[in-house]
Structure 1
Amino acid sequence: MLVLLIVLLEVVVMSVSFATTQLKVYKLSNGATLIVNPRDDTTAVSLQVWFRVGSIYENYQQKGMAHFLEHMLFNGSEEYPYGEIDRLVEEMGGDINAGTSKDYTFYYITVAQPYWQQALRLLYQLTQKPLLQEQMVEKEKPIVIEELRRGKDNPSNVLWEELEKLAYKVSPYRFPIIGFEETIQKFNREMLLEFFRNFYQPQNMYVVVVGDVDPQEVLKVTEETFGKETGRRVPFSDFLPEPDWSQNRFKKLEDPRLERAMWAIAWKTVPAGEKEYYALVVLDQILGGGRTSLFYRELREKGLVYSVSTGDMGRPRDNLYVIYATFDPSKYQEVKERIFKLMQDLSTNLSDEDVEKAKERIINGEVFTQEKPQREAYFIGYSATVIGRLDYYLYFENNIRSVRKIDVLRVLERYFLGRPYVELLMVPKR
């Protein structure tokens, strides 16, 4: 009886609806998850396929493979030769692209409503039926290596790579997404196929569709395409968390390409999606959220910096909060001292009104950006794939509204004031 029950469970499609939204979630029999948000306020449909794989899932020999594989998937599939999928999407007036991060990889097509079925079938071919030919692997290597070299010619890229190397000594977040020349040069078809089969498969997949669609029709097309693939156990990834920092870390670089100093300072902070995280989002809005923010008024408008921005990395573990600024090299010490004083003073000067205004700006900004189906689909895919639960998308506004001044101050005290930090200063080389 137990065996029969297991078999029955394996062939059923599970459907979940949420009372607070029209969102439909279907668990296909092969382990793939389909998430549909039907909207009648738009004529566009965004279709996205997300995989829980990025550079942190690679071993050293695979460094750069998640990004490389993203390139390879656009080099032809079983039904469409190289360039044909791009041409078809362009004929539909649509947009197609992909992205690889340290935590995830996703592919998307956004089209007008009449073309959504064709677009979904194209995404299936793109992500599940790539040819991965050896000759195309060799063709792609110099392209990716040239991209890597161009990145090293960009001082901003150098700053962020060096900052993460300074911050992470154990965590796989210390490695660049694009990998290294020595690893890329050794990639071959067999290595890519193994990586593809391990991670580009139903049990590691989220299909997200947002727009003017009927969820049952989307489910039918998804079952006819992605639902035919075989689900397999996803390999265990041995993620080593970064130990807490015992002291501050500082590194200074000189670069002849610079005309002004570039500076980044980072603290280890609360993982994305946890309860405290929403207070961090509000704190970030207060510190660096646009022209009304504390840093813009006190640093940019008063001429101490050319630019200043803030934000966290949005990571579900080993998350970092970063303040980035550019300024005249002679003002480094003054800028740093001023930032530290502003943050310290906030612990006594923060008002309930400041918090409420920050919350409203965050919520209004999210409402505006999610008017676009592509942005909303991204939020849903990120919530399911990276955070690991749709609550992050479903209840984001409610969680922001629940933040109080005491919550913001608690995050400020727990993660910033008097806590170890890492900082990287890049100055012009004379």
Structure 2
Amino acid sequence: MTCDRSTAALSSPVFSQTGASATFLKLNHGLTLIHQEISSAAVVSVDIWVNAGATSDPVGAAGMAHFLEHMIFKGTEAIASGEFDLAIETEGGSSRAATSHDYAHYAFTVAANQFPKTLDYLAQMLLNAKIDAEAMEQERLVVLEEWRQANDDPDWVAYQHLMTTAYGAHPYGGSVLGNEESIRNITAVQMRDYHRSHYIPSQMTVAIAGAVDRDAAIEVVNNAFRNNFADRLDHCQEPMATVAATVAITGINRQTMSLPRLSQSRLNLAWVGVGVDSFVEAIQLELLLTVLVEGRSARLVQQLVAERGWVQDIAGSFSLQQAPSLFTIAAYLDAEYLDLVEAHIIEQVQDLRDRPLPLSELNKAKRSLNNNFTFALESPSQLASFLGYHGLLGCESLCRDWSTAYCAIVRNTEAEDLQHLAQKYLSTQNYVVTRLIAEANS
């Protein structure tokens, strides 16, 4: 889950660059820059990813990374609160920010001639955030309200219930938002210390896509980050490494939670997949998920929605992360069908383990996944986001050859590869089931 902050959108042109290759390099102070020129664009999109997500929250300060994301926009000694947003919107641009377990990221899209000035603004805010105690008390109320709204959202509750059940003590099992007690107790001193040790160039990946050439992009990024970080070079600390914990599911862990005023039940099944060290298998797991739930002809959509009518909607998720990610299937349904639907999903998983996919079904899934990938990168902002995130994770080859590498992995996957993948990761004896039902049905 990400917690997102965005401003009004700027229209960006659709583009297509078959065979395009991005620049991937290290700049001063260890900052990673990924650049893709799009000569047909009239805008530049920048996405800055910071290796400072919820997994780096200090002990006893859950929610620190997300809270700091809010405070970044309260400005610096030289930039007033709201000044950055005003500058973006005045020029018809857009900006957004989000925090997840692995990262915080900050993005904007502006007209090409506004790119240097806007990046300098954002670099100042990221590196020299004021973190004023009085402003922090005001923003604490906003963060607490966001936490309350999330806990009133059945989908968020179902998601967090699944994450906590599947990951347990692993950092991914905690909420990105933290908890009420920790949010209330985080101090300005704690946040300044956290900011100074995590918001440093060596922990940042800057992705740029749009109407700026390679040399100009390098010069603008170097100037923005070198100039705004100069007064901290003698004082910065390298961040403490996040301690990795083992992720494993043993047996069938079935948990049920009830909520008042819930109109439809939620059923979630999850298996532990792979992390960034196995990104080829991660893409193949996306293909396997496509077979099951992507599109009207996908197995579970056809069988459970169209034919039987047991569920109102069914979807899946698998996203590459630092540590192994969850391969999940989620359904909206009436409580009377919970057992039937779970059993049917497991039957289909067993079928994927027992025999290779028919060629026609495999090819249909490949076309669907490759089309989705292509459509998801049609604008500079989408491409900058993709490059920045995968650059943060260290997937250099995937970033350099973004226009061909992903689709080549999908294209070269055989039916036997997916069968092996199902056997390796989708056990019918080791998985998590979480069920969210109305209190009247509990």
What is the TM-score when the length of structure 2 is the normalising length?
0.89
Letter in 1 for 2:125: L
- Matching of residues 160-309 of structure 1 within 5 Å: 160-228=159-227, 229=229, 232=236, 234-272=238-276, 273-302=278-307, 303-309=309-315
Aligned counterparts of 1:362 and 1:404: Cα–Cα separation in 2 = 14
* Unpaired segments ≥5 residues, structure 1: 1-19
Secondary structure in 2 matching 1:131: coil
Aligned counterparts of 2:155 and 2:372: Cα–Cα separation in 1 = 27
**Correspondence for 2:14:** none
Aligned counterparts of 1:179 and 1:82: Cα–Cα separation in 2 = 24
- Does structure 2 retain, via aligned residues, the 8 Å contact 1:124–1:226? yes
The verdict on how the C-alpha distance between 1:246 and 1:56 changes in structure 2, with shifts beyond 3 A counting, is same
Letter in 1 for 2:267: W
- Does structure 2 retain, via aligned residues, the 8 Å contact 1:276–1:407? no
The answer to whether the aligner puts 1:117 opposite 2:93 as a matched pair is no
Cα deviation 1:346-369 (Å, max 9, x = unaligned): 343621222222112211221222
Aligned counterparts of 2:144 and 2:311: Cα–Cα separation in 1 = 35
How much has 1:127 moved relative to structure 2?
1.3
**Correspondence for 2:10:** none
How much has 1:43 moved relative to structure 2?
1.6
Instruction: Find 1:319's aligned residue among 297, 322, 325.
Output: 325
Aligned counterparts of 2:382 and 2:102: Cα–Cα separation in 1 = 18
Letter in 1 for 2:121: L
- Does structure 1 retain, via aligned residues, the 8 Å contact 2:291–2:298? yes
Which of structure 1's runs of 4+ aligned residues deviate more than 4 A? 230-233
- Matching of residues 366-385 of structure 1 within 5 Å: 366-385=373-392
Aligned counterparts of 1:328 and 1:189: Cα–Cα separation in 2 = 47
Aligned counterparts of 1:235 and 1:114: Cα–Cα separation in 2 = 35
**Correspondence for 1:3:** none
How much has 1:404 moved relative to structure 2?
0.8
Aligned counterparts of 1:349 and 1:275: Cα–Cα separation in 2 = 19
Aligned counterparts of 1:126 and 1:219: Cα–Cα separation in 2 = 20
Secondary structure in 1 matching 2:28: coil
- Does structure 2 retain, via aligned residues, the 8 Å contact 1:36–1:208? yes
Aligned counterparts of 2:56 and 2:202: Cα–Cα separation in 1 = 16
Aligned counterparts of 2:362 and 2:222: Cα–Cα separation in 1 = 46
Letter in 2 for 1:330: E
Aligned counterparts of 1:238 and 1:116: Cα–Cα separation in 2 = 34
How much has 1:233 moved relative to structure 2?
5.4
Letter in 2 for 1:306: Q
Aligned counterparts of 2:96 and 2:45: Cα–Cα separation in 1 = 12
- Does structure 1 retain, via aligned residues, the 8 Å contact 2:196–2:237? no
Aligned counterparts of 1:324 and 1:185: Cα–Cα separation in 2 = 33
Secondary structure in 2 matching 1:364: helix
* Unpaired segments ≥5 residues, structure 2: 1-18
- Does structure 1 retain, via aligned residues, the 8 Å contact 2:30–2:201? yes
Aligned counterparts of 1:33 and 1:338: Cα–Cα separation in 2 = 46
How much has 1:240 moved relative to structure 2?
3.4
Secondary structure in 2 matching 1:82: coil
- Does structure 2 retain, via aligned residues, the 8 Å contact 1:54–1:104? yes
Letter in 2 for 1:325: A
Cα deviation 1:304-340 (Å, max 9, x = unaligned): 1011001124223131111100111111111111112
Q: Which of 1 and 2 has higher RCO (CA within 8 Å, sep 6+)? A: 2
How much has 1:191 moved relative to structure 2?
0.8
The answer to whether the aligner puts 1:132 opposite 2:127 as a matched pair is no
How much has 1:40 moved relative to structure 2?
1.1
Secondary structure in 2 matching 1:275: helix
Aligned counterparts of 1:403 and 1:354: Cα–Cα separation in 2 = 13
**Correspondence for 2:438:** 428
- Does structure 2 retain, via aligned residues, the 8 Å contact 1:306–1:326? yes
Aligned counterparts of 1:256 and 1:49: Cα–Cα separation in 2 = 40
- Does structure 1 retain, via aligned residues, the 8 Å contact 2:356–2:416? no
Letter in 2 for 1:50: W
- Does structure 1 retain, via aligned residues, the 8 Å contact 2:314–2:331? yes
Instruction: Find 1:365's aligned residue among 372, 390, 393.
Output: 372
Cα deviation 1:76-114 (Å, max 9, x = unaligned): 223321111111100110001101000011101111222
What is the TM-score when the length of structure 1 is the normalising length?
0.91
Secondary structure in 1 matching 2:107: strand
How many residue pairs were aligned? 410
Aligned counterparts of 1:33 and 1:270: Cα–Cα separation in 2 = 24
**Correspondence for 2:414:** 404
Secondary structure in 1 matching 2:60: helix
Cα deviation 1:220-273 (Å, max 9, x = unaligned): 121211023256553232423235322111111121221121111111112245
Letter in 2 for 1:307: D
- Matching of residues 330-369 of structure 1 within 5 Å: 330-346=336-352, 347-348=354-355, 350-369=357-376
Aligned counterparts of 1:312 and 1:32: Cα–Cα separation in 2 = 28
How much has 1:26 moved relative to structure 2?
3.4
Letter in 2 for 1:250: R
